[in-house]
Amino acid sequence: MSDILLEIKDLGIQFNTGKGPIQPIRGVSFSLKSGETLGVVGESGSGKSVTSLAVMGLLPEKKSKIVSGSIHFNDEDITKLSEKQYRKLRGNEMSMIFQEPMTSLNPVFTIGELLSEPLKQHKKMSKKERKEAIINVLKQVGIPRAEQIINEYPHQLSGGMRQRVMISLALLCEPKLLICDEPTTALDVTIQAQILELMKEIKAEKNMSLLFITHDLGVVAEMCDRVVVMYAGEIVEVAEINELFDQPLHPYTQGLIHSRPTNNSRKSALYSIKGQVPRPEEIGIGCTFANRCPHAFEKCLKETPPIFEKGDHLSKCWLQDSKRQAVMK
Amino acid sequence: METGTVTTANPLNVKAKKESKSKEIARKLLRSWTGVIGFSLIILLLILSIFGEVIAPFDPMDAQLRDRLLPPLTDGHLLGTDQLGRDILSRVIVGARVSVVIGLSTVLLAGLIGTIVGVIAGYYRGWIDIVLMRIVDVQLSFPFILLVLVISAVLGAGLTNIVISLALAGWVIFARVIRSEVLALREKEFITAAIATGVPKLQILVRHILPNIFTPIIILGSLQIGTYIIAEASVSFLGFGVQPPTAAWGNMLDEGKDYIFNSWWLITFPGIAIILTALGVNLFGDWLRDTLDPELKGE
């Protein structure tokens, strides 16, 4: 087995809408090493969630299809798996934590019944073993009174507790890959910090790989080793975490970092990137960010930039074109 | 829901919780006077339908032509006698059973068919949804009673046949409601989460979606029972339903209508019985909806 757990190559996804097909994901490539935490950031509508759903094989079957590229998980192209084969991976080798702990737990089941689901699907265990495993994992995620919680219903728990239950649901079968789709967005800040701390601990303990999807750069700085910045369905920048914050290359990333509140700018208005993410049907030729970019020049509007590499630091911006840089100097 | 596998740290605690649960339901019931009335009427109806023969002061089939068309409160006949001299009170009491049996079995059958169709249409979507829902649309465009009459005319009279024809005419409402519930549910995040833990499609439907539509089924069912009881009475009144001499409220109306001008009690009392039953069932159904509705549950 190679060091790389998940490799996405040139992924393109097409949605069939009433107005004709659109491509919310175009040419996305990145890889995730085992034990690594990779952050995926971007505004709403940038394609973060669609990418993660594609990895889990949860895209709506009839309305969407993968039109190009591949997703390799453990050296196997999972885009070609049958539904049945995929089912063996889900919840077992790869799990997902959803954004809304309030709506992600089925209200008619007790916590115990909910948590026994992945074990029933993937592991051959007796009822007693299952109960033990569930109580164990609940204790791991820091739920007090685990023995009683398993008899309670989701609505009896607070938001933070429910997210802990969601995490334990994802951890039960000890997956190699854990996808977190904005796991702390719906929680208040103190709980958020607890949950992030918890996820870090668990990750270190189990040596899992984390694909961490968020729009919160603070969370990214806290959690991730490397970051993929997405914009309008494309990757615009990939960098190691410190490099990204110190030397963001793409104007979009610069804008994102710039628009965070800091201690010393408390009284002034926050910086914001003007305009909105173009909708998939609005994307034409040229750089997708050009219409909002403070540095845009003629070429940006006419030609789509390729990905420029600077060591491990990738960015999709004409500013990085060495010819241009040469001219500027 | 008890899992049975789980030993609780404090069994006393659990018991106390259960008691408070039934108390809670009683409290909710007592808070709404319409709920109390509906509930009482239903209890009365159930008692009559189970113990009818014991409670009835006379044999409902015993025709005493000497005593025919006696007005109420004569010779111990509290509600009078009919054209064959049978005691009307006894017939009304015994007739409750027909209504209850028909109401319940129709709602079970119609609910079953409607739920299956609704779930399939809502969950699998695609062409099967289109086909099933167009059938539902076509059927909904016919008046309910007309449809019941046509089907029972084909099947013939009798208790079983009237249940079948009521159910065949009535399942569409269940299908419609259940489909829309399933449509909303399948997009819920917890369903995606269940798929993400590797649960197969059919199990998602049976284990994760079905329990969630239980409440709307119960509510709709309880409200539909009233409709079916009235429909049975109407069909029996028109001569297609339960056949004489079996005492049923509908055919009592049918037989009594010829005497409406000089013996009003023949049709008045079975009529009142039908009204009270429908009222009770509907009041109870409304209360049930208000209590079980998940949106209001937390309050």
At A288 the pLDDT is 84
| pLDDT per residue rounded down to tens, chain B (299 residues) | 444 444 444 444 444 445 566 777 777 777 788 889 999 999 999 999 898 888 888 888 888 888 778 888 877 788 888 888 888 899 999 888 888 899 999 999 999 999 999 999 999 888 999 999 999 999 999 999 999 989 988 988 788 899 999 999 999 999 999 999 999 998 888 898 888 888 888 888 888 898 888 888 888 998 898 889 888 888 888 888 788 778 888 888 888 888 888 888 888 999 999 899 989 988 988 888 777 765 544 43
Contacts of A90 in chain B (CB under 8 A): 195-198
Asked if A52 reaches chain B (Cβ–Cβ under 8 Å), the answer is no
The CA distance from B83 to B67, in Å, is: 9
How far is the alpha carbon of B201 from chain A, nearest alpha carbon, in Å? 10
- Give the single-character DSSP code of A202: H
Amino acid identity, position B265: W
* pLDDT more than 70, % of chain A: 95
Chain pair A-B, CB pairs under 8 angstroms: 88
Torsion from C-alpha of B168, B170, B173, B176, nearest 10 degrees: 0
Beta-carbon separation of B6 and A151 below 8 A: yes
The CA distance from B184 to B255, in Å, is: 48
| Closest residue in chain A to residue B13, using alpha carbons only | A148
Beta-carbon separation of A91 and B198 below 8 A: yes
Which of A88, A108, A212 has its CA nearest to residue A152?
A108
Q: Which of A81, A151, A181 to mutate to test the interface with B (most CBs of B within 10 A)?
A: A151
At A324 the pLDDT is 60
Q: Which of residues 107-136 of A touch B (CB under 8 A)?
A: 107-110, 112-113, 117-118, 121-122, 127-128, 131
Q: Which of B18, B128, B190 to mutate to test the interface with A (most CBs of A within 10 A)?
A: B190
Q: Would you say the pTM of this structure is higher than 0.80?
A: no
Query: What does the domain layout of chain B look like in residue ranges?
Result: 29-60+76-297
Overall CATH class of domain B29-60+76-297: mainly alpha
Beta-carbon separation of B197 and A98 below 8 A: no
The CA distance from A73 to B172, in Å, is: 47
| pLDDT per residue rounded down to tens, chain A (329 residues) | 458 889 998 888 888 888 888 888 888 888 898 888 999 998 877 888 888 888 888 888 778 888 888 899 888 888 888 888 888 888 888 998 888 877 888 888 889 988 998 888 888 888 888 999 999 889 888 888 888 888 888 888 888 888 889 888 888 888 889 998 888 877 788 888 888 888 888 888 888 899 999 888 888 888 899 999 998 888 889 999 998 888 888 888 888 888 877 766 556 677 777 777 777 777 777 888 888 888 888 888 888 888 888 878 888 888 877 666 555 44
Query: What does the domain layout of chain A look like in residue ranges?
Result: 4-93+173-260+271-328
The CA distance from B183 to B119, in Å, is: 9
Contacts of B126 in chain A (CB under 8 A): 62
Closest Cβ opposite residue B194 in set A95, A106, A150: A106
Torsion from C-alpha of A197, A198, A202, A207, nearest 10 degrees: -30
Amino acid identity, position B211: P
Closest Cβ opposite residue B190 in set A106, A127, A128: A106
How far is the alpha carbon of B291 from chain A, nearest alpha carbon, in Å? 16
Beta-carbon separation of B3 and A105 below 8 A: no
Asked if A100 reaches chain B (Cβ–Cβ under 8 Å), the answer is yes
Asked if A174 reaches chain B (Cβ–Cβ under 8 Å), the answer is no
State whether CATH 3.40.50.450 applies to domain A4-93+173-260+271-328.
no
